[in-house]
Amino acid sequence: MPYTTKLDLDINPSISILRNLSEQDFIVLLAGITEPSKVFADKNMAQRVNIDGVQQLLRFAVERNAKVLFFSSVEVFGEKGSPHHESSITNPLNAYGVMKEENEKLISGEFPLGRYSIIRTPWIVNPVNGSRCVITQTANGIKSGVMRFASDYFISLVSAEQVLDHLEVALTKFDVDLPTHLHFVSKGYISRFDLANKVGQVLFANRYKVQEGRFDDLVLKESRSRDTRMISRISWKRPFNPPENINFVIARQLEVMKKRGEFNA
């Protein structure tokens, strides 16, 4: 991809290749170990990458007065206050969320206003990277025999297409002042049980009976929030395009998956 630079964030990012970084430049920082389960499994590696490497890069950007768009996560929020908006209080429940929150605090403390934006996302629906897509994960779970899904576990979604659309707006329209926080999220929310029902109906024609479960029955290796609903008070306004409806995002993804025939009988 043109105008991008690959850095290894493990221990000592190769910042020297950014020696020409200036106040005219943006750093769009998506890098890191982004799966909470992998962070939990290897906290030392996650510390080196998600904290040490990322913060070294952030401080270099501060020195050069470059703008930063930092991708954070709904995992910085806890149980209370949902649906979470840009000004909601953070209270992460797991190691991944704690690391994201730590970086958020560094950015808001060291970058001048107008030179950074913290972008938070919920589950990203991705037609390409199915291993990270909650809809594909749900379909795989149903097919492998996981039939019980929590009806009191609420999530928000956003499509990869809308993330890219909003990101382009942030990069091109905010040439003066960036909002300090942005939530890229679809309109609406859904429970894991209702999502599983939709997946079962479309991909499996109800061949598998999805059963209603409860969040407290889940066996979790570390704490997670049962309510990760998000809303945006900024990114639905101009110059951003209106957010997609969550049901449209789900239906479009299921149609793509159905056409690929991955879950045919």
Omega before 242 within 30 of 0, i.e. cis:
no
User: Taking the model in full, what pTM does it have?
Assistant: 0.91
- Tell whether the torsion through CA atoms of 240, 246, 251 and 253 is positive or negative: positive
In the predicted structure, residue 229 carries a pLDDT above the cut 60: yes
The answer to whether 232 touches 243, Cβ cutoff 8 Å, is yes
Please give the biggest Cα pair distance in the chain: 58
User: pLDDT, tens digit, for every residue of 24-54?
Assistant: 888 899 878 888 888 988 999 999 889 998 9
Vertex 97 angle, CA 226 and 150, to 5°: 15
- Return mean pLDDT, the chain: 89
Please tell me the predicted confidence (pLDDT) of residue 1. 42
Task: Say if residue 228's pLDDT is above 70.
Answer: yes
Angstrom distance (rounded) from CA 186 to CA 184: 7
pLDDT in tens, 144-179: 888 899 999 999 999 999 999 999 998 888 766 778
- In this predicted model, which residue has the larger pLDDT, 233 or 109? 109
State the pLDDT at residue 208.
86
State both tokens at 14.
């190769």
Which domains does the chain carry?
15-260 (3.40.50.720)
Q: Which residues in the chain belong to E strands, given as ranges?
A: 26-29, 67-73, 116-121, 123-125, 148-150, 154-155, 157-159, 181-183, 190-191, 211-213, 227-228
